[in-house]
Amino acid sequence: MSDVLYPLALRLDGRRVLVVGGGAVATRRVPALLDAGAQVVLVSPEVTPALRALADAGRLRWLPRRFEASDVDGAWLVQVAVDDRLAAAAVSAAALERRVFCVRADDRVAGTAWTPAVVRHGPVTVAVLGGGDPRRSMALRDAIRAALLDGTLGGGEREAEPAGRRGSVALVGGGPGDPELITVRGRRLLAAADVVVADRLAPGALLDELRPDVELVDASKIPYGPAKAQEEINRILVDRARQGRFVVRLKGGDPYVFGRGGEELAACLAAGVPVSVVPGVTSAVAAPATAGIPVTHRGVAHEVVIVSGHVPPGHPDSLVDWRALGQLRGTLCVLMGLKHLDAIAAALRDGGRPADTPVAIVQEGTTAAQRVIRGTLASIAADAARAGVRPPAVVVIGDVVRLQDRYE
């Protein structure tokens, strides 16, 4: 038998694929088949809860019995995902007889097709065959993925998809500070950028990885007041995109959580510049999480409210009903709340929130400089002042704060 394989990519959309076996291997293989649009028929007396959920949702057809040779009829491809070699051999024999390609998880050499280790990078799919050694193929695949993500390997993907095309803007959520907490898509677009307009709170370490020819605009250094600066940022986004460059607006956390992402989107749309949004991990949830505070917890908090404290309670510009928030039992995550913390805590107490409600302040969450100050709704403003807490910080209010002792 020749060791030379002929690589192919299969169009499985609407085509039947038979999967035999309902354990861990099938659980890993089936989602990719479904993603490719295959009509999956799964034969196995037992299945994992994940596969059962797919069957219950009508995403695949489960036949809860043992394999019969006629199951192969009508299939374009067979995936054998059982450990029992005799049972697997019976499936591949039935497939061979009907000239249907068959992948064997138990013994790849005994199959008539192999599945490669795969990395998808935007429109590009890289499939690696390691000459029968899955560790080799996976190691190589991982190295290729890393190189694609940091831009060392260029994919030419910009022309192929709307996000990343020349003359367009992507509003990318950079995550809360830890450079590993940007999304895969965000990182990929950043590596493809010609211009990066970065926020003060965007993870700085990501900027270190930019190619030397990338124009970096530090939005925090734009020398006007906040309103004017936003206009200037909008102008730069539109201007650079009109020069035919791909612009990434890199923002801290999520672009739409107190990030003015909507305004930038509107400015691009008004100027006729194609724009896309890549959501990010918001500090409102991630900073408490890395401090060991889950913002919801069964039996403790069934609601979480993310609120901005940039204007104090009672201020004519405030859109927040602090007294109503004082009525809640769940978790409040206050962003930009340090300056008016005393007034915010008082308004919540006035609204009915008990003075002994636990509060944590997570400063510079997810970064190496992260620190956490604990207190109560009565004491937290004084605690913060004493500890010299500085922005950026998330103030977490509610009983979930007590869980930190258990989960940190």
Question: Which residues sit at the interface with ligand SAM, rule CB under 6 A?
Answer: 176-177, 201, 252-254, 257-259, 282-284, 287, 335-336, 362, 364-367, 391-394
324 Ramachandran zone, left/alpha/beta (phi>0; psi -120 to 50)? alpha
Q: How far apart are CA 243 and CA 369, in angstroms?
A: 39
Contact 353, 326 (CB under 8 A): yes
**Least separation in angstroms between CB 333 and ligand SAM:** 9
Catalytically annotated residue among 71, 194, 199, 254: 199
Of 22 and 337, CB closest to ligand SAM: 337
**Least separation in angstroms between CB 297 and ligand SAM:** 20
Of 148 and 237, CB closest to ligand SAM: 237
Of 116 and 398, CB closest to ligand SAM: 398
**Least separation in angstroms between CB 186 and ligand SAM:** 13
Distance between alpha carbon 124 and the CA centroid of its chain, in Å?
19
For tokens 């299969």, name the residue: 10
Q: How far apart are CA 236 and CA 253, in angstroms?
A: 21
- Could you confirm whether 221 is annotated as catalytic? yes
Residue nearest to ligand SAM (CB): 253
Contact 361, 385 (CB under 8 A): no
Of 164 and 259, CB closest to ligand SAM: 259
Q: DSSP H helical segments within 83-210, as ranges? A: 85-97, 134-150, 184-192, 204-207
**Least separation in angstroms between CB 326 and ligand SAM:** 20
- Could you confirm whether 199 is annotated as catalytic? yes
- Residue by residue, DSSP assigns 64-95 as -S---GGGGTT-SEEEE--S-HHHHHHHHHHH
Of 283 and 404, CB closest to ligand SAM: 283
Give the chain's end-to-end CA distance (angstroms, integer). 57
Residues 6+ away with beta carbon under 8 Å from 72? 18, 78, 91, 94, 95, 98, 100
Contact 169, 158 (CB under 8 A): no
Of 128 and 265, CB closest to ligand SAM: 265
**Least separation in angstroms between CB 378 and ligand SAM:** 22
Q: How far apart are CA 386 and CA 398, in angstroms?
A: 21
Amino acid at 18: L
Contact 112, 92 (CB under 8 A): yes
**Least separation in angstroms between CB 401 and ligand SAM:** 15
Catalytically annotated residue among 208, 221, 317, 405: 221
Q: Catalytic positions, please?
A: 199, 221
